Amino acid sequence: MRTVRGVTRRLTLTAALVAAVGVAVPPFGASAGPTTEPGRRAITGTIDGAEFRIEVPERWNGTLVLYSHGYLPEGFPSFGIGLTNRPPDRSETESWLLDHGYAMAASQFADGGLGYAVERGLRDQIALLDWFRANVGAPRRTVATGQSMGAAIATQLAERHPERFAGVATMCGAYDTQATFDSGLDVLFAVRTLLAPDQDIDLVRPADPAGSAQALAVAVQEALTTKQGRARVALAAALNNVTGWYSAHEPRPTDPIERIRNQAEWLQYAYTLGFGPLGRLDLERRAGGNPSSNVGVDYRRQLARSAQTRQLEQAYRTAGLDLRADLDRLAAAPRIAADPAAVDYMHRIGVPQGRTPVPVVTMHTVGDGGAPPHQERWYADQVRQVGNPGKLRQLYVERGGHCSFSAAEEIGMLRTLFTRIDTGHWPDTSPRTLNKAASALGDRYQLVMDLGRTFTDTPMPPAFTRFTPPKALRASR
């Protein structure tokens, strides 16, 4: 049986792994260290409680790439400030950008950037841009990039300050953060109702967050030992299109039992902790209450629209369970209401409008169960309503895991955006063209980190693909 201590360690490592680097002498009192490369400047410092890091190449081309990091759980140790999706101590993307004349900057956000730091991220990134302009130089153009929660920050930075950005590039985006936590509530509501019905588990406003998280994690783990339990894990996962593909280094599972085991890992290491009782403490503190509700949610209707319905029905047939009876149990269980002021906070801070004042390119793995790729479809729908679809280009990678991109794929995404900014036209973004260009970068750019199981790098071929995400099941609008 896995304890909450072990689960917490897995999720902590899963968050963006970053490591410190040397720094050169900066102006205006920022912290300093030894110069590591002649002609290049590496600057670190603190602005209003938020640590930052800047890298400037020897011959700067005038473009600044501003990176926003993803969600970091409480207790995450600070190893440094990342500037790309790859950890700094092995970021081939960072090296490529510097070699090609691009400057980079990132704020860690105040208080170490832990938890739901969207509001501080929006503020601290602009403060860093102001500092860069005053102390390094005025960028000719600035590109906002980000991964996971940071994708929502990067997107909103351009929406709120269009005069300061020339483009946006996001990876594994969790844009609709209100829906992210609503959907997380749906999944864990099903886990508690169907797998731990007699236990006192707080899903929101937790009195004992660690105890509730442990109970949820153990319930999922124990469910895997029976056909009936596995079927109910599949039901909970289907309520948010959670895929049965967890590892970045392994092929998509084809065995039905193995797919459910993969879904269980998503539930344990993303939902139970990230969206569950432990993650709720920080979220509710920032929002001034609980922003998530399932009052009035029809889970039958939600399940009918899920991309995982066929596998779920197969699991129930194998287990000899009555799916309708379990849906009746969900329908009859007491619901959870949100605090209206907290909902207003989330819509004001955490949900992009879909305006596209500048070009936007996004990239997502098709097997992402933490921020399911239906987030991309939701964002594209918002752009069609209030933005310019011609300014949006969305790329997909055939791989499991969250944010599991190689440097070659990340560079391909950035090149796509740079070309669109330079020429006013999107380049050829067919999978064949993107994969060929990514392969041409060479072997050192093909490493992919498995943030779910092994936390190691493995060389993998570029895997851009054509993909149409399913519809989001609980969009905020």
Question: What are the sequence ranges of the domains in the chain?
Answer: 10-176+351-465, 178-345
Burial class (CB in 10 A: 0-12, 13-18, 19+), 281: middle
Measured CA to CA in angstroms, residue 398 lies from 84, 248, 257, 259, 306 at distances of 20, 10, 21, 16, 20
What average pLDDT does this structure show over 125-151? 97
Rounded average pLDDT over 225-237 = 98
H or E element, residue 65: strand 63-68
Q: What is the pTM of this model?
A: 0.91
Average pLDDT value for residue range 93-102: 97
DSSP secondary structure letters along 414-469:
HHHHHHHHHHSS-----HHHHHHHHHHT-GGG-EEE-TTTT--EEE----EE---P
Task: State yes or no: pLDDT of 35 exceeds 80.
Answer: no
- Alpha-helical (H) ranges within 100-163 are 118-135, 149-160
| Residue 73, pLDDT score | 81
Lowest mean pLDDT among 29-43, 260-274, 323-337: 29-43
pLDDT at 380: 98
Residues 6+ apart with CB under 8 A from 82: 16, 18, 67, 69, 88, 91, 106
Report pLDDT for 78.
61
For 27, list phi and psi in degrees, rounded to 5. Answer: -85, 170
Residue 9's pLDDT is what? 46
Name the pLDDT band for 112 (thresholds 50, 70, 90): confident
Question: Alpha-carbon distance 81 to 66, whole Å?
Answer: 12
Beta strand 167-171 with 103-107 is unpaired
DSSP string, 178-215: HHHHHHHHHHHHHHHHHH-TTS---SSS-SSHHHHHHH
Letter for the amino acid at 85?
A: N
* Lowest-pLDDT choice from 18-32, 139-153, 318-332: 18-32
Per residue in 44-91, pLDDT tens? 999 999 999 999 999 999 999 999 999 988 766 566 799 999 888 889
**Residue 19 scores a pLDDT above 50:** no
Residues 6 or more apart whose CB falls under 8 angstroms from that of 229 comprise 195, 222, 223
Sign, CA dihedral 364-367-372-376, equals positive
pLDDT digits (tens, 9 = 90+) for 415-429: 999 999 999 999 999
Tokens representing residue 76 in the block? 């995450």
**Residues near 269 by Cβ (< 8 Å), separated by ≥ 6?**
7, 10, 11, 14, 452
Q: Does CATH place domain 10-176+351-465 in 3.40.50.1820?
A: yes
Residue 43 CA to residue 60 CA, distance in Å, equals 15
Question: pLDDT value at position 74?
Answer: 73
Q: What is the pLDDT of residues 438-467, one digit of tens each?
A: 999 999 999 999 988 888 999 999 999 999
Q: For residue 77, what pLDDT is reported?
A: 59
Tell me how far CA of residue 416 lies from CA of 126, 170, 341, 428, 432, in angstroms.
Answer: 25, 12, 40, 8, 14
DSSP code, position 22: -
Tell me what the mean pLDDT of segment 227-236 comes to. Answer: 98
**Does residue 431 have a pLDDT over 50?**
yes
How confident is residue 273, by pLDDT bands cut at 50, 70 and 90?
Answer: confident
Residue 466 tokens read as: 């054509």
Nearest to 453 by CA among 13, 4, 2, 3: 13
